């Protein structure tokens, strides 16, 4: 079916449209053994060492939001892409596209956040690029970060999910939807009274702890655009298994749920910037959970579901009221309902 | 507050309650019956919570024409696009409408080509936009039933008070009672209606009297959570089994017998009722809300002289019959093969409250 005549906003939402654009355009022409893997980071073998390499661009609006800013996001986002590939993040680059007239003071605040996040995770920002465009040619500030990290060979399978099997447990580190709803609230002036903050955080410290606690972590993914539901689908299709999720066991943030109820959204599809979905061997699930709960980013961690051998490629949600239904892939952006 | 139950929601999703009510339904239900949930919000809630699994096989649920986006005619989308192409116009709309295919294009596609289309959460946001951009013409695409129409009416009155000369409404607002009567007259078997909770919050009970008294159908006004819907089904089954029909209200925490008189008054003041076209039902007398002559200055249909292209209907699409419960999405040759949420042919596949979209999402 292809990817249409023109780029629409859905080509960037992490759902079906974007997948199609990536596979039918980018991968088709860039085609090689590494990109074909379609992982969050490319894993390369350089002089006998396994290196994870990734890049991400940040265009968030507004630049500052409760819980973070475009700078902290740009560092955490790339760190997380490395960390979920089983890598120890080492070095980052930072490219800035700045609109003429942008406040230097704001830029300074953003750069300070970037430095702080990098330091916290023990990585160095070692190279960068600066471009200024005429007023109106970009929206205030865009940032690109790339990163590399080193992967111990035993962690190579967590990126591909090749060890995922029926019976494995699915663990989520906290309530989904905080980043997306915090941004929406800041952007739309929705006038909800809440203390909602983005969950923007580096997941590396948490992942390090998890990998130390268990040798049977079979898959790691940060649930960003498209939310937890999109990762669940990735597991189902990539590993050719069924995924069962139990709605009642998903950690929740009441503010997020309340806003979602009002707007007609489902928190499972809302973007996160500090949420980790893991598949762990059932025998180690409890010990991993305990290890996670000792860290701030994992204190609300819970087992939310299980890998099955039925309904391969599908995600089944057991609803709070006891029914069962398919949890579909995100297609268009979620739109507010009108009545 | 970061953790805890959501009051007025979680208690209505309680699994034990659901099982208990489902058990009562099974106990008393003997007849083969069809119930129509009129509102798209109900259809969505039923499928999202997986409720059908709890119902006995002799109760069939039909989805009705209560998705505002779905019943808006293709012509309306075409008209909106034509107005959107006028230089200096900002189109404002509720979300779902942007993806609905018109004859040749959709608002979403037009947006990609440079038409200024903005999604708003309330008509009052459109009003604010007009107030802040006096050199632009802000057109709000008014869709929806008694739920959204009073807000559109209030916006027009507000625009008048603020002397805004650049705010316009293109009204496809509709009212429910004539459509329900049309449904009761079709040959589709409908023994009872799960009546729309939020429409009823505005109208009150009276609009359903004809259905119970003249057409001998059961009517229960229902809330939107699984427990609400099952409880309403139980009440409907009781009425049908006893052959005693009346308007009952399950949604007592929101709906009052007399409705919301202030909202009713606003609608009466701003709109007149004339025949309107519904996808699926065709032209239904007295079902469309058109802007009264007194407020013609705000009527986009009158203030923009645009040529609306002749309609081209998609071949094979049976949206119309699906909207009146006559057919199911799986009966459509296009369903899930040609027509999918990624590439919707009919409006029912577009809206999150559209029957086809809901079936595709939760069952395909």
For the cut 50, the answer to whether the pLDDT of residue B1 exceeds it is no
CA distances from B253 to B18, B197, B250 (A): 19, 10, 8
Bridge partner list, B43 = none
Per CB-CB distance under 8 Å, the chain A contacts of B362 are 325-326, 328
In angstroms, the CA B276 to CA A17 distance is 35
pLDDT tens track for B256-286: 999 999 999 999 999 999 999 888 788 999 9
Q: Is A153 helix (H, G, I), strand (E, B) or coil?
A: helix
Instruction: Say whether A253 and B9 touch across the interface (CB within 8 A).
Output: no
Domain ranges across chain A: 39-155, 161-326
State the residue for tokens 């950690």: A251
Mean pLDDT, range B66-71, rounded to an integer: 84
Task: List, as ranges, residues 8-47 from A with C-beta within 8 Å of B.
Answer: 8, 16-17
Domain ranges across chain B: 70-175+259-303, 319-363
Residue A62 region by backbone torsions, left for phi larger than 0, else alpha for psi between -120 and 50, else beta: beta
In angstroms, the CA A248 to CA A79 distance is 31
Instruction: Say whether B98 and A335 touch across the interface (CB within 8 A).
Output: yes
DSSP A269: G
For the cut 80, the answer to whether the pLDDT of residue B333 exceeds it is yes
Say what the alpha-carbon torsion angle B42, B181, B28, B355 is, to the nearest 10 degrees: -30
- % of chain B beyond a pLDDT of 70: 99
Beta strands A87-99 and A68-69: pairing type?
unpaired
Q: Does residue B23 belong to the interface with chain A, where contact is any CB pair within 8 Å?
A: no
In angstroms, the CA B221 to CA B193 distance is 8
For the cut 60, the answer to whether the pLDDT of residue A338 exceeds it is no
Per CB-CB distance under 8 Å, the chain B contacts of A331 are 341-342
Instruction: Say whether A321 and B53 touch across the interface (CB within 8 A).
Output: no
Instruction: Say whether B96 and A337 touch across the interface (CB within 8 A).
Output: yes
Banded model confidence at residue B346, pLDDT cuts 50, 70, 90: confident
- % of chain B beyond a pLDDT of 90: 68
Mean pLDDT, range B77-81, rounded to an integer: 95
Mean pLDDT, range A238-254, rounded to an integer: 96
In the CATH scheme, what architecture does the domain A39-155 have?
Answer: 2-Layer Sandwich (3.30)
Instruction: Report the residue count for chain A.
Output: 339
Bridge partner list, A91 = A124, A148
pLDDT at A335: 59
Helix, strand, coil % (nearest 5) of chain A?
Answer: 35, 25, 40
Q: Is A277 helix (H, G, I), strand (E, B) or coil?
A: strand
Say what the alpha-carbon torsion angle B79, B85, B88, B91 is, to the nearest 10 degrees: 50
Instruction: Write the residue in A321, A325, A331 that is nearest to B13 by C-beta.
Output: A321
The string over A9-46, giving b where at least 16 C-beta atoms fall within 10 Å of a residue's C-beta and e elsewhere, is ebbebbbbbbbbbbeeeeeeeeeeeeeeeebbbbbeee
Of A112 and B104, the one with more pLDDT: A112
pLDDT at A110: 98
Of B310 and A298, the one with more pLDDT: A298
Average pLDDT score over chain A: 92
Question: Half-sphere exposure of residue B141, counting CA atoms within 13 Å on the CB side?
Answer: 31
Any residues with CB less than 8 A from the CB of A315 and at least 6 apart, and which? A229, A232, A233, A236, A242, A243, A244, A245, A326, A327
In angstroms, the CA A230 to CA A214 distance is 25
Instruction: Say whether A335 and B48 touch across the interface (CB within 8 A).
Output: no
HEC states along chain B? Answer: CCCCCCCCCHHHHCHHHHHHHHHHHHHHCCCCEEEEEEEHHHHHHHHHCCHHHHCCCCEEEEEEEECHHHHCCHHHHHHHHHHHCCCCEEEEECHHHHHCCCCCCCHHHHHHCCCEEEECCCHHHHHHHHHHCCCCEEEEEECCCCCCHHHHHHHHHHHHHCCCCCEEEEECCECHHHHHHHHHHCCCCCCEEEEEHHHHHHHCCHHHHHHHHCCCCEEEEECCCHHHHHHHHHHHHHHHHHCCCCEEECCCCCCCCCCCHHHHHHHHHHEEEEEEEECCCEEEEEEEEEECHHHHHHEHHHHCCCCCCCCCCCCCCCHHHHHCCCCCHHHCCCECCCECCCCCCCHHHCCCCCHHHHHHHHHC
The class of domain B70-175+259-303 in CATH terms is alpha beta
Mean pLDDT, range A208-221, rounded to an integer: 96
Instruction: Write the residue in A323, A336, A337 that is nearest to B50 by C-beta.
Output: A323
Name the least confident of A6-20, A52-66, B218-232.
A6-20
HEC states along A21-90? Answer: HHHHHHHHHHCCCCHHHCCCCEEEEECCEEEEEEEEEECCCCCEECCEEHHHHHHHHHHHHHHCCCEEEE
For the cut 70, the answer to whether the pLDDT of residue B11 exceeds it is yes
pLDDT at B348: 86
pLDDT tens track for B315-330: 888 888 888 888 889 9
Instruction: Say whether B50 and A6 touch across the interface (CB within 8 A).
Output: no
Mean pLDDT, range A185-205, rounded to an integer: 85
How many of the other CB atoms lie within 10 Å of CB of B183? 25
Query: Is the distance from CB of B352 to CB of A336 less than 8 angstroms?
Result: no
Mean pLDDT, range A54-79, rounded to an integer: 95
**Structure tokens, B252:** 């007592």
Of B326 and A244, the one with more pLDDT: A244
Question: Half-sphere exposure of residue A32, counting CA atoms within 13 Å on the CB side?
Answer: 6
In angstroms, the CA A331 to CA B96 distance is 13
Pick the closest to residue B36 from B336, B346, B356, B322 (CA basis): B322
Q: Does residue A151 belong to the interface with chain B, where contact is any CB pair within 8 Å?
A: no
- Which CATH number is associated with domain A161-326? 3.90.650.10
What ipTM was reported for this prediction? 0.78
Q: Which stretches within A61-176 are classed as H helix? A: 70-83, 104-120, 157-160
In angstroms, the CA A77 to CA A64 distance is 16
Any residues with CB less than 8 A from the CB of B247 and at least 6 apart, and which? B195, B205, B208, B209, B211, B212, B219, B220, B221
φ and ψ at residue A169, rounded to 5 degrees: -100, 150
Mean pLDDT, range A249-267, rounded to an integer: 91
Per CB-CB distance under 8 Å, the chain A contacts of B10 are 320
Name the least confident of A8-12, A24-28, A140-144, A227-231.
A8-12
pLDDT at A2: 61
From first CA to last CA, the distance across chain B in angstroms is: 37
Mean pLDDT, range A30-58, rounded to an integer: 92
Instruction: Say whether B362 and A326 touch across the interface (CB within 8 A).
Output: yes
pLDDT at A333: 65
Mean pLDDT, range B24-30, rounded to an integer: 97
Average pLDDT score over chain B: 92
Pick the closest to residue A97 from A38, A144, A34, A44 (CA basis): A144
In angstroms, the CA A179 to CA A203 distance is 14
For the cut 50, the answer to whether the pLDDT of residue A1 exceeds it is no
Task: List, as ranges, residues 162-181 from A with C-beta within 8 Å of B.
Answer: 175
């Amino acid at each position: 079916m292809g990817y249409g005549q023109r780029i629409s906003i859905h080509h960037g939402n992490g759902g079906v449209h974007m997948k199609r654009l990536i596979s039918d355009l980018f991968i088709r022409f860039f085609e090689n053994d590494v990109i074909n893997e379609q992982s969050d980071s490319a894993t390369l073998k350089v002089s006998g060492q396994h290196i994870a390499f990734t890049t991400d661009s940040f265009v968030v609006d507004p630049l500052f939001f409760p819980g973070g800013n475009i700078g902290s996001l740009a560092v955490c986002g790339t760190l997380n892409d490395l960390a979920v590939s089983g890598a120890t993040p080492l070095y980052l680059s930072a490219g800035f596209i700045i609109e003429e007239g942008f406040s230097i003071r704001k830029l300074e605040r953003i750069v300070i956040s970037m430095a702080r996040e990098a330091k916290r995770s023990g990585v160095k920002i070692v190279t960068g690029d600066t471009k200024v465009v005429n007023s109106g040619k970009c929206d205030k500030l865009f940032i690109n970060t790339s990163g590399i990290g080193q992967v111990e060979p035993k962690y190579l399978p967590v990126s591909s999910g090749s060890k995922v099997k029926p019976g494995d447990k699915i663990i989520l580190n906290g309530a989904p939807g905080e980043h997306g709803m915090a941004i929406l609230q800041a952007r739309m002036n929705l006038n909800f009274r809440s203390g909602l903050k983005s969950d923007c955080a580096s997941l590396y410290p948490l992942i390090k702890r998890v990998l130390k606690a268990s040798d049977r972590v079979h898959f790691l993914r940060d649930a960003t655009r498209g939310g937890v539901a999109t990762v669940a689908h990735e597991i189902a299709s990539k590993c050719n298994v069924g995924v069962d999720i139990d709605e009642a066991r998903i950690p929740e943030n009441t503010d997020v749920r309340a806003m979602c109820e009002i707007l007609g959204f489902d928190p499972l599809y809302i973007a996160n910037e500090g949420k980790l979905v893991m598949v762990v061997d059932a025998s180690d699930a409890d010990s991993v959970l305990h290890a996670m709960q000792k860290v701030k980013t994992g204190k609300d961690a819970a087992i939310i579901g299980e890998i099955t051998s039925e309904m391969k490629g599908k995600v089944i949600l057991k609803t709070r009221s006891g029914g069962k239904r398919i949890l579909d892939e995100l297609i268009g952006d979620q739109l507010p309902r009108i009545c | 507050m970061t953790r805890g139950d959501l009051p007025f929601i979680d208690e209505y999703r309680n699994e034990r309650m659901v099982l208990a009510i489902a058990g009562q339904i099974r106990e008393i239900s003997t007849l083969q019956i069809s119930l129509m949930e009129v509102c798209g919000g109900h259809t969505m809630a039923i499928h999202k919570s997986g409720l059908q699994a709890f119902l006995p096989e002799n109760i069939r649920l039909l989805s009705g024409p209560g998705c505002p986006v779905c019943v808006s005619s293709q012509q309306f989308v075409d008209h909106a696009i034509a107005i959107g192409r006028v230089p200096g116009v900002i189109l404002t709309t509720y979300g779902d409408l942007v993806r609905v295919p018109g004859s040749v294009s959709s608002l979403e596609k037009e947006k990609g080509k440079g038409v200024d289309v903005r999604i708003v959460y309330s008509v009052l946001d459109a009003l604010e936009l007009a107030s802040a951009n006096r050199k632009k013409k802000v057109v709000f695409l008014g869709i929806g039933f008694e739920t959204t129409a009073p807000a559109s009416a209030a916006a027009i009155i507000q625009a008048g008070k603020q002397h805004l000369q650049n705010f316009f409404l293109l009204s496809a607002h509709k009212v429910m009672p004539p459509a329900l009567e049309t449904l009761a007259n079709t040959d589709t078997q409908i023994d009872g209606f799960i009546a729309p909770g939020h429409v009823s919050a505005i109208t009150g009970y009276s609009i359903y009297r004809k259905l119970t008294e003249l057409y001998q159908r059961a009517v229960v006004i229902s809330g939107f959570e699984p427990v609400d819907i099952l409880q309403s089904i139980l009440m409907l089954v009781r009425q049908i089994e006893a052959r005693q029909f009346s308007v009952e209200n399950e949604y007592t925490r929101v709906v009052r017998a007399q409705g919301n008189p202030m909202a009713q008054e606003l609608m009466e003041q701003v709109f007149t009722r004339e025949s309107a076209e519904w996808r699926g039902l065709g032209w239904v007398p007295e079902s469309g809300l058109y802007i009264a002559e007194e407020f013609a200055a705000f009527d986009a249909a009158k203030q923009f002289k645009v040529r609306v292209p002749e309609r081209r209907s998609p071949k094979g699409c049976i949206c119309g019959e699906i909207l009146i419960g006559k057919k199911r999405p799986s009966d459509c040759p296009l369903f899930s093969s040609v027509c999918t949420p990624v590439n919707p042919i009919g409006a029912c596949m577009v809206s999150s409250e559209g029957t086809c979209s809901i079936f595709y999402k939760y069952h395909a």
